[in-house]
Structure 1
Amino acid sequence: MSDATINCLRWRCRRGTRELDRLLTWYLDTRYVASDAAAQNAFADLLDAQDPDVWDWIMGRSRSAQTAVQNIVDDIRTHHRV
């Protein structure tokens, strides 16, 4: 994994709220590199989603239609007990 790719993803983790920034950056820093290509692509899809949708998924108010994205959200929720 190149530094440029990680830096680009880190920039994309910057969202409208500090809470989302921290949760998404946590996943990038702790899970992303060890993930398989499918999970890495799902993380990129998660970063493409609108902030209100991502927040609702993380808060458990709704679920992503993409199973792989929802798996990442579930991992974040489990680790942070959201």
Structure 2
Amino acid sequence: MFDKKRVSRLKWACRRGMLELDVLFMPFVDEAFDDLDESQQLIFERLLTCDDPDLFAWFMGHQKCDDPELAQMVEHILNRVKV
């Protein structure tokens, strides 16, 4: 479902205005995105449409994401970083 062009767009969308988000998203899309199943890839793509302040708050633990799918993806990315 994700051809090279779509993955290239995802990589571009991973380039955020905040270094804290860049260091999470860029390695994730380069190293772990292909290991996600199709539904998880779509959730990750949707996560990238969220506003930077919300993403920052979720990833830094200042706020809980109300969307269960997005919250699970945030947790997945954070768990990968901890390993």
Structure 1-normalised TM-score?
Answer: 0.86
Runs (4+) off by over 3 Å: none
**Partners of 1:40 and 1:64 in 2: how far apart?**
18
- Name the structure 2 match of 1:26: 27
**Partners of 1:65 and 1:37 in 2: how far apart?**
22
Count how many residue pairs are aligned between Structure 1 and Structure 2. Answer: 81
Runs of 5+ unmatched residues, structure 2? none
- Name the structure 2 match of 1:58: 59
Aligned-residue CA RMSD in angstroms? 1.4
- Name the structure 2 match of 1:15: 16
Per-residue displacement from partner, 1:4-36 (whole Å, max 9, x unpaired)?
111100000011112211201122122211211
Percent of paired sites with the same residue? 30
- Name the structure 1 match of 2:5: 4
**Partners of 1:31 and 1:67 in 2: how far apart?**
21
Corresponding letter in the other structure for 2:74: V
The answer as to whether partners of 2:20 and 2:56 remain within 8 angstroms in 1 is no
Deviates more, 1:56-65 or 1:26-35: 26-35
Shift of residue 66 of structure 1?
1.8
- Name the structure 2 match of 1:77: 78
Deviates more, 1:41-50 or 1:65-74: 65-74
Corresponding letter in the other structure for 2:80: H
